[in-house]
């Protein structure tokens, strides 16, 4: 136990300043939390679905939880149930085998909801494209609000994308459309 | 003699690891498998292919002297071949996949249920058949009903998990039959991330397809890209410069350490020691950031390229890589003692998800998980290719086969990889980092075999010649997860349901690398 406490004390707090959502300026954590509260009236909860990715994007989404990015410290939480989620974060080209599960996950989320497609595959199908087994980009299967490009996008870009999507939702407060 | 008792005409491929290729007759197909099994060899992979005269089934075996790629041509449009699953249990799912992707059936195989096709494409469409024109539009995806094996009895109930899991994980379905908290049976259903990778290979130029190989499983991008490039280079008889080999090995070891650091943190977390996750994920982030500085990408994607590597290291970067090895070694050592002295953690790790060496040998458990269950196989030691041949890689093995053994193995492999990296950084040969690769004029084959962090990655490549625009006729990628997924079904028997995430994480198998 002593060893653990010593290590915690020695390493201190490693969390770095979060990125500004649209420009390159850095802001304090507090402002992001305030914005989230203003826009959503609560912390942001995210349900993540891998719809067929190579797992590269998942590794970087995982990294958001490490002490450097400390996403939970910003008031953003990954949740287990879509019924608790404000945002759906989707990776991969959508495999045909996952299309239905992805649609059902979205349907299970309460309105209003945001959908962010992650990675080059999520944005345009990436190197896998469309085929007998792949539906390609996420927006071919469910409506998408924002795409975070990259292969995979670095954690900072992911964070920027998530914050931009939330921001945009304030800029256009109209209820989200549900294109078929 | 490669396989005792069989007179086979084998060709040595121009690979840095010893790989032979040869054809067998129908009668010898099972005989060869039995001979390999009796000599202590292992089935690496099984897949279907197509020849001008018909279909073919291929198998790759690891034997004492290296890897043997055997091909059984099926005459006159035949699609049936003798079943290998009674000899090598691991063949079962591979045969089910070959039936769906290549349209060839193992005669007498017990399990005829579809594996990768969940109703996404009509069964009459065979994706990998070269002449098979894809229907323009498939009917809307309907999920086919999958007949799971039911466990009957008083108080038995089922827990269905997935494909969408509770965390940030790849998709797959697990069907538990439980009594109270105890798992009586687990049945996996995979294939959710099947996105047609092997078909996609045939549409890409050989000199660009390493990018696709590097995205078969994102956590093993270096291993896959290297295996693919090794296959292409052996087909093209391209010798890569020594410096390129060393840099590839350096990246491969960095990939191993990055994954082990991530897993060690996650395993602590799954046993409720959040401190472990915080510390190890911090170390992993440091590690990835320096990978980005040194190799241009946090996961080192696209760093390995046909003919060599894309980036070179200058003196200053070499120094910071060396310094990081020292720093990480120090920190991991401290954390290891924290893990080992933590009674609560060890209580969750020890005897959980046990796979005995006998069961591991029977089912063909391989790679890291295999070594934790007494299966002493590591390509870097068994068939060392440059630069491993001069580094005397020390293999870590354990016999207890539980979560604790798989954790200890990771600690030991991190230490050994750090030692290897320091030796590589100190002895890095000077010179070019890339040689020119000229695609062969004639149709040819190549193979790649690399010990990734999870286990051995194998790539079998068939290239067309100049007459057919140097196209990839077939590229088969094999992930060690094929062997290890079925073993998890055994590892969880008798454990409690809440220990499943811990057991699963201790194997940390790939979904995408398996589903392709």
Q: Do B138 and A132 touch (CB under 8 A)?
A: yes
Question: Do B514 and B115 meet the contact criterion of CB atoms below 8 Å apart?
Answer: no
Least CB-CB distance to A68: which of B127, B282, B512?
B282
**Which residue from B98, B112, B106 is spatially nearest to B50, judged by alpha carbons?**
B98
Ranges of beta strands (E only) in B452-508 are 456-463, 472-478
List of chain A residues whose C-beta atoms are within 8 Å of the C-beta of residue B221 = 56
Residue A176 has pLDDT above 80, yes or no: no
By C-alpha distance, the chain B residue nearest A78 is: B167
Alpha-carbon distance of B278 to B156, in angstroms, equals: 38
CB contact under 8 A, B171 and A50: yes
Report whether pLDDT(A180) > 60: no
Omega of the bond prior to B273 within 30 degrees of 0, cis? Answer: no
Hey, how many other C-beta atoms are within 10 angstroms of the C-beta on A42? 10
Work out the widest C-alpha separation in chain A, in whole angstroms.
58
The yes-or-no verdict on residue A83 having pLDDT over 90 is: yes
- pLDDT, one tens digit per residue, over B167-206 is 899 999 999 999 999 999 999 999 999 999 999 999 999 9
pLDDT band at A20 (very low <50, low <70, confident <90, very high): low
A19 — pLDDT class (breaks 50, 70, 90): low
Q: Is the CB of A14 less than 8 angstroms away from the CB of B282?
A: yes
Note the pLDDT of residue A172. 57
Interchain contact, B169 vs A58, CB within 8 Å:
yes
Q: Does B125 touch chain A (CB under 8 A)?
A: yes
Residues of B in contact with A101 (CB under 8 A): 163-164, 171, 192
Going across the sheet that includes B19-23, the strands are B10-12, B19-23, B66-73, B54-63, B42-51
Q: B401 to each of A103, B503, B506, how far by Cα in Å? A: 40, 11, 10
Give the pLDDT confidence of A118-156 residue by residue, as tens digits: 999 999 999 999 999 999 999 999 999 999 999 999 998
Instruction: Give the span between the Cα atoms of B501 and B174, in whole angstroms.
Output: 11
B288–A63 C-beta distance less than 8 A: yes
pLDDT in the model for residue A45: 94
Report the SS3 class of residue B512.
Answer: helix
Note the residue count of chain B: 516
Between positions 16 and 55 of A, the ones with CB within 8 A of B are 48-55
pLDDT for the residue numbered B141: 56
* DSSP 3-state of B41: coil
Q: A112 preceded by cis ω (within 30°)? A: yes
Mutate to test the interface with A, among B195, B197, B292 (most CBs of A within 10 A): B195
| Whole-angstrom distance, CA of residue A36 vs CA of residue B252 | 41
Instruction: Determine whether the interchain pair A55/B167 forms a contact, defined as Cβ–Cβ distance below 8 Å.
Output: no
Cβ neighbour number for residue A168 with a 10 Å cutoff: 15
Task: Specify whether the CB–CB gap between B436 and B465 falls below 8 A.
Answer: no
A102 pLDDT band, cuts 50/70/90, is: very high
How far apart CA B386 and CA B257 sit, in angstroms, is 20
What confidence score (pLDDT) does residue A166 get?
85
Q: What value, to the nearest 5°, has the Cα angle with vertex A111 and ends A105 and A115?
A: 55
Q: Name the packing angle between helices B500-507 and B481-491 (round to 10°).
A: 150
Residues B104 and B54: their CA atoms lie apart, in Å, by 11
User: Measured between alpha carbons, how far is B497 from B204 in angstroms, rounded to an integer?
Assistant: 44
- Residues of chain B short of pLDDT 50, as ranges, are none
CA distances from B130 to A87, B59, B213, B402, B477 (A): 42, 20, 20, 44, 18
8 Å CB contact of B284 and A63: yes
Q: Any CB–CB contact under 8 A between B160 and chain A?
A: no
Q: What is the DSSP letter of B240?
A: P
- Three-state SS at A106: helix
Rounded CA-CA distance B31/B36 in Å is 9
Q: Return the pLDDT at A174.
A: 47
* Confidence at residue A48, expressed as pLDDT on a 0 to 100 scale: 96
Query: Which is it for the CA torsion B226, B227, B228, B229, positive or negative?
Result: positive
Kindly report the backbone phi and psi dihedral angles of residue B102, in degrees, each rounded to the nearest multiple of 5, phi listed first. Answer: -115, -5
Contacts of B127 in chain A (CB under 8 A): 132-133
The residue among B164, B159, B163 whose CA lies nearest residue B179 is B159
The per-residue pLDDT for B139 is 62
Instruction: Report how many Cβ contacts below 8 Å link chain A to chain B.
Output: 164
Q: Are strands B456-463 and B472-478 parallel, antiparallel or unpaired?
A: antiparallel
- Are A69 and A17 spatial neighbours (Cβ–Cβ below 8 Å)? no
Name the residue among A7, A62, A152 with its Cβ closest to that of B168.
Answer: A62
A67 contact B CB<8A: yes
Rg of chain B on CA atoms, in Å: 23
Contact in structure between B60 and B478 (CB atoms under 8 Å):
yes
Nearest CA in chain B to A61: B168
* Residue A168 distance to chain B (closest CA, Å): 25
Helix (H, G, I), strand (E, B) or coil at B134: coil
Give the separation between CA A78 and CA A26, rounded to whole angstroms.
23
Alpha-helical segments (H) within B271-356 = 274-295, 315-341, 343-349
| Among chain B residues, CA nearest to A4 | B338
- How confident is the model over B75-123, as pLDDT tens digits? 888 999 999 999 999 999 999 999 999 999 999 888 889 999 998 888 8
Question: For the whole prediction, is pTM greater than 0.90?
Answer: yes
Across the interface, of A56, A63, A129, the residue whose CB is closest to B285 is A63
């Amino acid at each position: 136990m002593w060893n653990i406490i010593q290590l915690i004390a020695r390493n201190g707090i490693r969390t770095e300043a979060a990125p500004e959502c649209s420009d390159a300026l850095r802001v304090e954590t507090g402002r992001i939390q305030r914005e989230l509260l203003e826009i959503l009236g609560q912390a942001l909860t995210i349900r993540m679905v891998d719809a067929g990715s190579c797992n590269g994007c998942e590794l970087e989404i995982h990294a958001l939880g490490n002490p450097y990015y400390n996403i939970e410290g910003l008031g953003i939480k990954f949740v287990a149930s879509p019924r608790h989620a404000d945002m759906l974060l989707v990776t991969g080209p959508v495999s045909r085998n996952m299309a239905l599960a992805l649609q059902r996950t979205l349907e299970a989320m309460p309105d209003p909801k945001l959908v962010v497609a992650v990675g080059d595959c999520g944005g345009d199908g990436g190197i896998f494209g469309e085929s007998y087994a792949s539906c390609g980009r996420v927006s071919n299967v469910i409506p998408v609000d924002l795409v975070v490009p990259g292969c995979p996008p670095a954690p900072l870009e992911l964070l920027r994308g998530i914050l931009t999507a939330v921001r945009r939702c304030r800029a256009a407060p109209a209820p989200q459309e549900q294109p078929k | 003699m490669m396989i005792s008792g069989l007179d086979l005409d084998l060709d040595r491929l121009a690979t840095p690891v010893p790989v032979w290729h040869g054809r067998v007759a129908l009668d010898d197909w099972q005989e060869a498998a039995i001979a390999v099994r009796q000599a202590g060899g292992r089935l690496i992979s099984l897949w279907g292919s197509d020849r001008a005269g018909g279909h073919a089934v291929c198998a790759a075996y690891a034997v004492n002297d290296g890897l043997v790629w055997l091909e059984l041509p099926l005459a006159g449009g035949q699609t049936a071949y003798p079943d290998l699953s009674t000899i090598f249990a691991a063949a079962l799912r591979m045969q089910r996949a070959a039936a769906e992707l290549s349209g060839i059936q193992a005669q007498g195989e017990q399990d005829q249920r579809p594996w990768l096709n969940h109703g996404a494409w009509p069964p009459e469409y065979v994706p990998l058949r070269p002449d098979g024109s894809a229907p323009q539009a498939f009917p809307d995806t309907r999920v086919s009903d999958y007949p799971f094996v039911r466990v009957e009895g008083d108080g038995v109930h089922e827990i269905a998990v997935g494909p969408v899991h509770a965390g940030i994980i790849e998709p797959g379905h697990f069907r538990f039959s439980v009594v109270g908290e105890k798992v009586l049976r687990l049945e996996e259903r995979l294939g959710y991330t099947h996105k047609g990778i092997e078909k996609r290979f045939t549409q890409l130029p050989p000199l660009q397809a390493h990018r696709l190989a590097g995205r078969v499983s994102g956590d093993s991008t270096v291993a896959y890209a290297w295996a693919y490039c090794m296959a292409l280079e052996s087909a093209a008889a391209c010798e890569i410069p020594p410096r390129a080999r060393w840099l590839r090995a350096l990246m491969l070891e960095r990939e191993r350490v990055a994954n082990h650091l991530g897993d060690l943190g996650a395993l602590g977390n799954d046993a409720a020691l959040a401190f472990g996750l915080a510390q190890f994920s911090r170390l992993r982030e440091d590690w990835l950031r320096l990978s980005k500085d040194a190799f241009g990408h946090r996961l080192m994607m696209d760093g390995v390229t046909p003919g060599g590597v894309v980036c070179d290291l200058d003196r200053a970067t070499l120094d910071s890589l060396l310094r990081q090895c020292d720093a990480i070694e120090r920190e991991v050592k401290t954390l290891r003692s924290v893990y080992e002295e933590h009674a609560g953690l060890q209580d969750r790790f020890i005897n959980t998800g046990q796979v005995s060496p006998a069961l591991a040998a029977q089912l063909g458990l391989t790679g890291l998980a295999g070594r934790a269950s007494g299966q002493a196989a590591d390509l870097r030691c068994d068939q060392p290719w440059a630069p491993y041949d001069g580094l005397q890689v020390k293999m870590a093995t354990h016999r207890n086969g539980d979560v604790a053994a798989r954790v200890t193995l990771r600690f030991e492999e991190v230490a050994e990889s750090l030692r290897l990296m320091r030796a590589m950084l100190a002895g890095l040969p000077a010179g070019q980092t890339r040689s020119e690769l000229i695609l062969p004029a004639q149709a040819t084959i190549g193979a790649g075999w690399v010990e990734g962090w999870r286990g051995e990655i194998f790539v079998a490549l068939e290239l067309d010649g100049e007459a057919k625009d140097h196209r990839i006729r077939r590229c088969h990628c094999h992930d060690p997860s094929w062997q290890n997924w079925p073993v998890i079904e055994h590892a969880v028997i008798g454990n409690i349901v809440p220990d499943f995430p811990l057991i699963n994480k201790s194997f940390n198998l790939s979904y995408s690398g398996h589903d392709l």
